[in-house]
Amino acid sequence: MRESRESRENENEATDKDTAAAARHARFGRLPEPVRAEDMVEERPATAPDPARHAYDPDEWMVRYCL
């Protein structure tokens, strides 16, 4: 009896190992889809745009002070 119980345990272990191996293969059997570099990088300005930065008119001072 002892041998038959051990043989059943060995068969159960082998079946469990096969099942576990099949589950691992189903989950990790292939590599994930590659991710493009464009999808990994997000470009944002480092600072908020300053509206006064481009508001200067180089000819304005001539009109105000020279005419």
Judge whether 67 lies within some domain.
Answer: no
Give the number of domains in the chain.
1
Model pLDDT, residue 61: 75
Length of the chain equals: 67
Q: Which domain holds residue 11?
A: 1-29
Phi first, then psi, for residue 20 (nearest 5°) are -65, -40
High-pLDDT (> 90) share of the chain, %: 18
Report the sign of the C-alpha dihedral through residues 9, 14, 20, 23, in that order. negative
**66 in a structural domain:** no
Read off the DSSP letter of residue 17.
Answer: H
Q: Is residue 64 part of a domain?
A: no
Is 13 part of any domain? yes
pLDDT tens digits, one per residue of 21-45: 999 999 998 888 999 988 888 888 8
Q: Which position has the token pair 């944002």? A: 44
Domain assignment of residue 56, yes or no: no
What is the model's pTM? 0.34
Of 7, 5, 27, 9, the C-alpha closest to 17 is 9
